[in-house]
Amino acid sequence: MLGLNKKDATLLIVVAALTLCAPFILNPFPTGSAMAQFNAGYPDLMQRFIIFGIFAIGFNILFGLTGYLSFGHAAFLGVGSYSAVWIFKLFTYNVIPAITLSVVVAAIFSLFIGFVSLRRSGIYFSILTLAFAQMSFALAYSVLSNPKFNLTNGETGLQVYADDPQWFHRDSLPDLPHLFGLSMRSTYSLELGAWRFDFNAGYYLCAVILMIVFYLAIRIFRSPFGMMLRAVKSNQQRMNYTGLNTRPYTLAAFVISGMYAGLAGGLMAAMDPLAGAERMQWTASGEVVLMTILGGTGTLIGPVLGAGFIKYFENIFSKINDTVLHNWFAFLPDGIEDFVVFIVHPFIGKGWHLTLGLLFMLVVIFLPGGLVEGGQRIGRLLKGKKKAPDSEDPEHHPKETPHVAE
């Protein structure tokens, strides 16, 4: 199907099914129950899962295939967001031109940064990208937001104001990002007994785009181009000795992954028309590295899982406070209740970083292939098969995958 082999087609179908049914899957607990705290099926978080999934898929095309660890990918995401909001401010709230421009601008930006940074490899490349990203952050945060030349609106973030020109905006259209009149915020809530499921227009736009870019990623992974990138990862020097110039390939990979980041940034602005400088900060760049490693570097689905995992912790665990804890443990005798709350307290609320850090350590130590490896292990356990010999790969080389023509 669509030029994919059977295994990849299945993967694509699974991803499509998961994204389309996410409003059901992520809201397993009835609204109003104590466990509703863990429901993640509200529009904003579902959009974030998808957007950061796209971001991580793109990052994985660079890091997973070529092994070049970029520490500055958030810069492209930020640039994408800013260009999208400028389209909103100047022309129209329709998301199509905004998203298109964000991809184009991110491509140009990543071409420039990639051209300079890819002259070095390894840690020097990482440091160069980090430097560029921090530079962009500083520019966006203060330099380009002075009152005389305000491109980014600094700390406050670029927003759309009522007195912005918006030349193609009509009164009949919603005053929010929309797709030909369909507001990205419009949500249909389905009440089923005690459950409530939210179907959000913006989310489904993101989901469709995710499926397209996921398909593109599969094609890239399986193409001769993808094979060349893997060759760069295994031994770039040998490639050079055979007389092959690898730089066009790595630069292409860098630009493609920059465009994915720009797309994610554009979508982010389309869901919520504000671009803040913080999304370019080095912590944001580090986050996507964590997502990719946590999910499984070099795998197709891994980065999406990693993105979901981290965003879930950021948004769900950070909102559990002591009052909630006391409600949960109210059945315990008073003294013990306070004690249990005292023990759990450092790991929730503002301590969500700590919980995430511990889980990250556990995953990296016990599941070096990320969540995908965990899934594979469980799969094998269920099937009762012996460990396949080809998984005995202590150095985690990228797995050989069938060529597209097979």
Partner 1 sequence: MSKNDVTRRGVLKTGAIAGAGVALPTIFTASSAAAYMNEPTGGSVTLGFNVPQTGPYADEGADELRAYELAVEHLNGGGDGGMLGTFSSKALKGNGILGKKVEFVTGDTQTKSDAARASAKSMIEKDGAIMITGGSSSGVAIAVQGLCQEAGVIFMAGLTHSNDTTGKDKKANGFRHFFNAYMSGAALAPVLAARYGNDRKAYHLTADYTWGWTQEESIKAATEALGWETVNAVKTPLAATDFSSYIAPVLNSGADVLILNHYGGNMVNSLTNAVQFGLREKMVNGKQFEIVVPLYSRLMAKGAGENVKGILGSTNWHWSLQDEGSKAFVKSFGTKYGFPPSQAAHTVYCQTLLYADACERAGTFNPCGVGQALEGFEFDGLGNGPTLYRADDHQCFKDVLVVRGKENPTSEFDLLEVVEVTPAAQVTYPPDHPMFAGGELGTCNPGA
223 contacts 61 by C-beta, under 8 angstroms? no
The minimum distance between CB 148 and partner 1, in angstroms, equals 11
Q: How far is the CB of 59 from partner 1 (least distance, A)?
A: 18
Q: How far apart are CA 107 and CA 262, in angstroms?
A: 8
Minimum distance, C-beta of residue 194 to partner 1, in the bound complex (Å): 13
Query: Whole-number minimum distance, CB 105 to partner 1, in Å?
Result: 19
What does the DSSP 8-state code read for residue 142? Answer: I
Q: Which is nearer to partner 1, 140 or 253 (CB)?
A: 140
Nearest CB to partner 1, comparing residues 64 and 308: 308
Chain contacts with partner 1 (rule: CB under 8 A): 39, 42-45, 48, 138, 141-142, 145-147, 153-157, 159, 161-163, 175-176, 179-183, 185-188, 198-199, 201, 204, 272, 274, 276, 278-279, 314-315, 318-319, 321, 323, 349-350, 352-353
Taking the complex as a whole, how short is the minimal distance between the CB of residue 281 and partner 1, in angstroms? 8
Cβ contact 282:134 at 8 Å? yes
CA 210 to chain centre: 10
Both tokens of 406, joined, read: 């097979």
94 HSE (CA, 13 A, CB side)? 13
Residue (187 or 376) nearer to partner 1, CB: 187
Query: With respect to partner 1, which residue has the nearer C-beta, 138 or 244?
Result: 138
User: Whose CA is closest to 164, among 93, 95, 268?
Assistant: 93
Q: Which is nearer to partner 1, 9 or 227 (CB)?
A: 9
In this complex, which beta carbon is closest to partner 1, that of residue 255 or of residue 269? 269
| Distance (Å, whole) CA 247 – CA 227 | 15
List, in sequence order, every residue forming a beta bridge with 200; answer none if it has no partner. 187
CA distance 316 to 186: 23
Q: How far is the CB of 139 from partner 1 (least distance, A)?
A: 12
